[in-house]
Amino acid sequence: MVRVPLTPADRERGERLGRLLREARADRSLVDVAGAAGISAETLRKIETGRIPTPAFFTVSALAGALDLSLDVLVAATGPAPTTGRGAPAA
Protein backbone atom coordinates (compact mmCIF):
# COMPACT_ATOMS: atom_id res chain seq x y z
CA MET A 1 0.00 0.00 0.00
CA VAL A 2 1.41 3.35 -1.03
CA ARG A 3 0.94 6.16 1.44
CA VAL A 4 -0.09 9.52 0.00
CA PRO A 5 2.32 12.28 1.07
CA LEU A 6 0.92 14.76 3.57
CA THR A 7 0.18 18.26 2.41
CA PRO A 8 1.45 21.33 4.26
CA ALA A 9 -2.14 21.83 5.46
CA ASP A 10 -2.16 18.28 6.91
CA ARG A 11 1.06 18.99 8.76
CA GLU A 12 -0.23 22.31 10.07
CA ARG A 13 -3.43 20.66 11.35
CA GLY A 14 -1.29 18.05 13.11
CA GLU A 15 0.71 20.79 14.79
CA ARG A 16 -2.50 22.51 15.94
CA LEU A 17 -3.77 19.21 17.34
CA GLY A 18 -0.50 18.69 19.20
CA ARG A 19 -0.61 22.20 20.70
CA LEU A 20 -4.21 21.74 21.80
CA LEU A 21 -3.45 18.40 23.45
CA ARG A 22 -0.38 19.81 25.22
CA GLU A 23 -2.41 22.75 26.51
CA ALA A 24 -5.22 20.46 27.68
CA ARG A 25 -2.72 18.16 29.40
CA ALA A 26 -1.39 21.19 31.34
CA ASP A 27 0.49 19.92 34.39
CA ARG A 28 -0.54 16.27 34.00
CA SER A 29 2.33 14.03 33.03
CA LEU A 30 2.61 12.67 29.53
CA VAL A 31 2.79 9.13 30.96
CA ASP A 32 -0.42 9.60 33.01
CA VAL A 33 -2.43 10.93 30.07
CA ALA A 34 -1.10 8.32 27.66
CA GLY A 35 -1.94 5.56 30.14
CA ALA A 36 -5.46 6.92 30.65
CA ALA A 37 -5.94 6.96 26.88
CA GLY A 38 -4.52 3.47 26.42
CA ILE A 39 -1.63 4.55 24.20
CA SER A 40 2.12 4.66 24.73
CA ALA A 41 3.80 7.78 26.05
CA GLU A 42 5.95 7.80 22.91
CA THR A 43 2.87 7.89 20.69
CA LEU A 44 1.45 10.82 22.67
CA ARG A 45 4.82 12.59 22.48
CA LYS A 46 4.88 12.17 18.69
CA ILE A 47 1.31 13.46 18.34
CA GLU A 48 2.03 16.47 20.56
CA THR A 49 5.15 17.36 18.58
CA GLY A 50 3.50 16.89 15.18
CA ARG A 51 5.55 13.84 14.22
CA ILE A 52 2.25 11.94 13.89
CA PRO A 53 0.16 14.64 12.23
CA THR A 54 -2.77 12.38 11.34
CA PRO A 55 -3.39 10.02 14.26
CA ALA A 56 -6.19 7.47 14.04
CA PHE A 57 -9.66 8.62 15.03
CA PHE A 58 -9.84 6.16 17.92
CA THR A 59 -6.54 7.48 19.29
CA VAL A 60 -7.81 11.06 19.15
CA SER A 61 -11.09 9.98 20.72
CA ALA A 62 -9.28 8.19 23.56
CA LEU A 63 -7.10 11.25 24.19
CA ALA A 64 -10.14 13.52 24.19
CA GLY A 65 -11.73 11.30 26.83
CA ALA A 66 -8.59 11.20 28.95
CA LEU A 67 -8.28 14.99 28.78
CA ASP A 68 -12.01 15.67 29.19
CA LEU A 69 -12.12 17.42 25.81
CA SER A 70 -15.10 17.40 23.51
CA LEU A 71 -14.48 15.97 20.05
CA ASP A 72 -16.36 19.02 18.77
CA VAL A 73 -13.66 21.23 20.29
CA LEU A 74 -10.94 19.19 18.61
CA VAL A 75 -12.69 19.31 15.23
CA ALA A 76 -13.21 23.06 15.49
CA ALA A 77 -9.59 23.63 16.44
CA THR A 78 -8.06 21.34 13.85
CA GLY A 79 -10.53 21.40 10.97
CA PRO A 80 -9.68 22.91 7.60
CA ALA A 81 -9.54 26.67 7.25
CA PRO A 82 -12.87 28.26 6.33
CA THR A 83 -13.29 28.91 2.62
CA THR A 84 -15.05 31.58 0.64
CA GLY A 85 -17.78 30.73 -1.87
CA ARG A 86 -15.15 30.17 -4.59
CA GLY A 87 -13.19 27.50 -2.72
CA ALA A 88 -10.32 29.80 -1.80
CA PRO A 89 -9.37 30.13 1.88
CA ALA A 90 -11.01 33.03 3.63
CA ALA A 91 -8.75 35.99 4.38
Range of the domain at 43: 8-76
Number of structural domains in the chain: 1
Q: Is residue 3 part of a domain?
A: no
CA distance readout (Å), 88 to 9, 21, 22, 91? 14, 29, 30, 9
Phi, psi of 85, deg, nearest 5: -60, -20
**Does 12 reside within a domain?**
yes
- Is residue 2 included in any domain, yes or no? no
Residue 59 lies in a domain: yes
pLDDT number for residue 89? 57
pLDDT at 21: 96
1 found inside a domain: no
Would residue 90 count as lying in a domain?
A: no
Please give the pLDDT value at position 60: 94
Q: Are 15 and 51 in contact (CB under 8 A)?
A: no
CATH at residue 54: 1.10.260.40
Q: What pLDDT is attached to residue 72? A: 92
Contact present, 43 and 62 (Cβ < 8 Å): no
Question: What digits encode the pLDDT tens for the residues 71-80?
Answer: 998 888 887 7
Phi and psi torsions of 89, nearest 5°: -55, 145
What are the residue ranges in the chain where pLDDT is below 50? Answer: none
